[in-house]
Amino acid sequence: MFVDQVKIFVQAGRGGNGCVSFRREAGVPRGGPDGGRGGNGGSVILVSEAGLTSLSYFRFHPLNRAKAGAPGEGGRRQGKRGADLVLRIPVGTIVKDIEAGELLRDFLKPGERFVAARGGKGGRGNASFATSTHQAPREHEPGRPGEERDLLLELKMIADAGLIGFPNAGKSTLISKISAARPVIADYPFTTLVPNLGVVDAGPDRSFIVADIPGLIEGAHRGQGLGTRFLKHIERTKVLVHVLDLSPFTGRDPVRDFEIVMAELEAFQPGLARRPQILAANKADLLGEGDAERLKAVRNLARRKKLRLFVVSALRNEGIRRLVSAMAAMIGRFRADAPAKEEGR
345 pLDDT exceeds 70? Answer: no
| pLDDT tens digits, one per residue of 268-294 | 777 888 889 999 999 999 998 888 999
Which is more confidently placed, 223 or 164?
Answer: 164
Gap between the Cα atoms of 127 and 33, Å rounded: 5
pLDDT tens string 203-218: 776 788 888 877 554 4
Identify each DSSP E strand in the chain by its residue range.
Answer: 5-11, 44-49, 63-65, 85-90, 93-97, 102-106, 113-117, 148-155, 161-164, 196-201, 207-212, 239-245, 277-282, 308-311
Kindly report the CA angle at 307 between 302 and 312, in degrees rounded to 5? 70
Q: What is the pLDDT of residue 20?
A: 94
Q: 131-171, pLDDT tens digit by residue?
A: 888 888 999 999 999 999 999 998 876 788 989 888 888 88
Secondary element (H or E) of residue 333: helix 320-343
Instruction: Give residue 185's pLDDT.
Output: 52
Kindly give, in sequence order, each residue whose CB lies less than 8 Å from that of residue 82, ignoring residues fewer than 6 positions away.
Answer: 13, 14, 16, 39, 40, 41, 42, 66, 67, 68, 69, 70, 119
CA distance 64 to 172: 37
pLDDT at position 15 is 97
CB atoms near residue 233 (< 10 Å): 23
Quick one: which of 116, 213, 206, 121 has its CA closest to 159?
Answer: 213
Among 11-25, 42-56, 111-125, 167-181, the range with the most confident prediction by mean pLDDT is 111-125
d(CA 249, CA 243): 16
Q: Choose among 321, 158, 314: nearest CA to 243.
A: 314
Q: Can you tell me the mean pLDDT for 223-232? A: 50
More confident site: 237 or 191:
237
**Higher pLDDT, residue 158 or 33:** 33
What residues are paired with 196 via a beta bridge?
212
Percent of the chain with pLDDT over 70: 84
280, 323 Cβ separation under 8 angstroms:
yes
| Max CA distance (Å), the chain | 111
Instruction: Sketch out the chain's domains with CATH numbers.
Output: 5-155 (2.70.210.12), 161-343 (3.40.50.300)
Residue 181 pLDDT level (bands cut at 50, 70, 90) = low
- pLDDT grade for 105, boundaries at 50, 70 and 90: very high
Q: Contact 107/91 with Cβ under 8 angstroms?
A: yes
Q: Which candidate, 140, 188, 169, 161, places its Cα nearest to that of 256?
A: 169
**Residue 215 has what pLDDT?**
56
Residues 6+ apart with CB under 8 A from 136: 22, 32, 33, 130
Examine the pLDDT at 122 and tell me if it is beyond 50: yes
For 13-27, what is the mean pLDDT? 87
CA dihedral in degrees (168, 192, 200, 256; nearest 10)? 30
Q: Which residue has the higher pLDDT, 337 or 162?
A: 162
For residue 227, the model assigns a pLDDT of 44
* Distance in angstroms (rounded) separating the CA atoms of residues 273 and 215: 17
How many alpha carbons lie under 13 Å from residue 134 in its C-beta half-sphere? Answer: 9
What's the whole-number average pLDDT of the chain? 85
Predicted model pTM: 0.61
Give the pLDDT confidence score for residue 168 in this predicted structure.
83
